A and B are shown apart, each in its own frame.
Chain A
């Protein structure tokens, strides 16, 4: 299609009052349980995830079930609300498997369309936050690039199979109770502690989103969907993940700018606050401008996912092509404008830089998403 027609319904790019209330609840929880020292301490512990934080977020606030219909035990809300939760998680860089379990795995299962059976049961458990699932595809996989046949099913069977393969790096696998494994036969649910499943933690660039390599050696799983259905469902899961990752990048960038402004107002050199120097002010004003734009792009993607707009693939590709760059830029400026302190371990700036840089690869790089824009808008390469 050339110069796509405007989506007939104008996207709603604002935040509703209910969304702002949800934001306030999540922000307050994260301020209590996941301030910067707590996040740093957690990254250095043997348990990268705080189960109390997850319970409060997923169950007490009910954030885990936002995308799940009420009849399956969820909140029956939408990607717009989930995006607000993710903005706040980006602002705090707390380790919580929200994007991976409550969005990507949940969205993949929802796309199977099952009203009962194992997929529906698993959805209900994910919605309550009692169990965590992750989609077992590399964290860098972009929508449209997932290889469902990345694991060979040694024994394909209608209801269960024996799975073989080496996968990774899988984000949040360490927190997962269930792995959703796409194979040439279809999508399998495999218990993370099942026989034949080995999870090996990897040393990750991003300290706040642990990665693991997963080895399947004769593991048994439950077949949730056939290959065709699975492929479309994984695609939808990755699309939602990429789309809402933009909101994480937005929240992250906002924290970086806010902290940088605060620091440069307080830090004096040459007998004046360094934030009064024009060369620094312009850099922060430029960041603000990029963040204003990133918010419009991220909201547009969340709204498109929520409304099922035909514009969704473009909205997601545009948001990822733009917001990745903004988050990295904001984090890099944050480190630089904090001067020496920005290079220290105890200041949290490094956590944001690591998250931002890892996010720039997650669910597809900006360049990969620009290729999608090129295809959708008929702007082909030479």
Chain B
């Protein structure tokens, strides 16, 4: 079968809409039908929700469906599954694994989480200590994971664990699909600086994972994890941001509407940050244009750094601008939000939450190293951990 073109995809989408009118079709049933029609992610293989079509043609399908008022799968709640688990399962999974996992993942019937980070392995992720020991047809897993979004609602997890402590750390890791309903899996909310619990700690005690749920060869989990992690950082560059579209928006509005709060010092800081936010927006727009023109540059690795610093400075300014009001905080009750609300809530929340922007998804320090070494070609720091067995590393 040759891959369909835009006209072919449009026709297939209209056929889907005719057979399953969104107005009278159950949401989940519609999404299943869309998956089966190959219109879920058109660049995926036929039979796995796609049609081997160019990725760029997804917009044709999405536009038709949006115009018809069709339900969407919720890409935010199921973001880890869509963005990270799916490409990894597609790249390294067996046929059985792809058939079993991709459809409910895409439809959103099964939520995924990611069991990667550990208390002792953050930026140095390959130092992880969660153990998986072979026992017959199973692996028995013991350890502790942390910063796990959606673990409390997830059905499945992508998991990396150490299967050979006698080789250097990058070589002794294997990659698994973990059943979060297993009795050895205990999920505890991890309350953060904001008072909320967006994340969880996950304790794994004698968790039995069948060998059939391993992704990729034993001992090569680090290579598999690279696919997951690369997909984690692909998210930027999709849509255009309007002027004052980020955190600078609320603080600029406050400045305009409440002259009584203005001071000269705050004015200088606001203008400096306004300019920096506008320039960051333009840099994001330039990156987007490069991607559209098929000239992806290395600039993407820098954008997260810029936005993290800006968010922190702008939200910090906003707390001060608000004066008495900035002394207050909306609510310290521990809640478990489905979504992180970066620009909603109040200035104090934004100030505290933005502290995570320079840590999550790679700390700013690690990203600066990546820019320095991979973009500028500066030499790596000498390392003493590459040829030492994991068990002999100091911890």
Contact = CB atoms under 8 A, between A and B. Distances in A.
B286 A261 contact: no
B379 A293 contact: no
A347 interface: no
B306 A289 contact: yes
A6 B276 CA distance: 17
Chain A CB count within 10 A is highest, among B286, B289, B305, for B286
A276 B381 contact: yes
Nearest to B378: A275
A296 to B, nearest CB: 4
A273 to B, nearest CB: 5
Interface string A245-285: 00000000000010001001100000011011110011011
A278 B368 CA distance: 9
Interface string B353-393: 00000000000010011011101111111100000000000
Interface in B186-218: none
A379 B256 contact: yes
A277 B379 CA distance: 8
* Chain A binding surface SS class: helix
Contact of A289 (B244, B255, B295, B302): B302
Given A12-B289, A370-B272, A373-B274, A284 B264 contact: no
A189 B302 CA distance: 48
Given A12-B289, A288-B376, A374-B267, A276 B278 contact: no
B307 to A, nearest CB: 11
Contact of B286 (A264, A275, A295): A295
Chain A CB count within 10 A is highest, among B263, B276, B278, B280, for B278
A214 to B, nearest CB: 34
Contacts of A278: 365, 369, 381
B26 to A, nearest CB: 39
A265 B243 contact: no
Chain B CB count within 10 A is highest, among A2, A294, A371, A379, for A379
A293 B283 contact: yes
A382 interface: yes
Contact of B368 (A6, A264, A273, A281): A281
A378 B379 contact: no
A11 B252 CA distance: 23
Contacts of B242: 6
Chain B CB count within 10 A is highest, among A275, A282, A293, A321, for A293
B279 A322 contact: yes
Contact of B371 (A288, A321, A322, A379): A288
A159 interface: no
Nearest to A370: B271
Interface string B248-269: 0000100110010011100110
A296 B378 contact: no
Interface residues on B, range: 35 or more
B270 interface: yes
Contacts of B64: none
B293 interface: yes
Contacts of A297: 279, 282-283
Contacts of B381: 276-278
A377 interface: yes
B285 interface: yes
A204 B378 CA distance: 36
A296 B285 CA distance: 8
A284 B376 CA distance: 8
B286 A14 contact: yes
A289 B376 CA distance: 11
Nearest to B267: A381
B76 interface: no
A371 B263 CA distance: 15
Contact of B243 (A4, A13, A272, A381): A4
B275 A281 contact: no
A18 interface: no
A350 interface: no
Given A12-B289, A322-B279, A379-B271, A285 B368 contact: yes
A296 B286 contact: yes
A288 B375 contact: yes
A300 interface: yes
Contacts of A299: 282, 286
A28 to B, nearest CB: 23
Interface of A: 2-4, 6, 10-14, 257, 261, 264-265, 272-273, 275-278, 281-282, 284-286, 288-289, 292-297, 299-300, 318, 321-322, 370-371, 373-374, 377-382
Given A292-B283, A292-B302, 12 more contacts: A11-B285, A14-B293, A272-B382, A276-B378, A276-B379, A282-B368, A289-B305, A293-B280, A296-B283, A321-B272, A370-B271, A380-B262
30 contacts: A14-B289, A14-B293, A261-B376, A261-B377, A276-B379, A278-B369, A281-B368, A281-B376, A281-B378, A282-B369, A284-B376, A285-B375, A285-B376, A288-B376, A289-B371, A292-B299, A293-B280, A293-B283, A296-B279, A296-B286, A299-B286, A300-B282, A318-B275, A322-B276, A370-B271, A370-B275, A378-B256, A379-B255, A379-B270, A380-B259
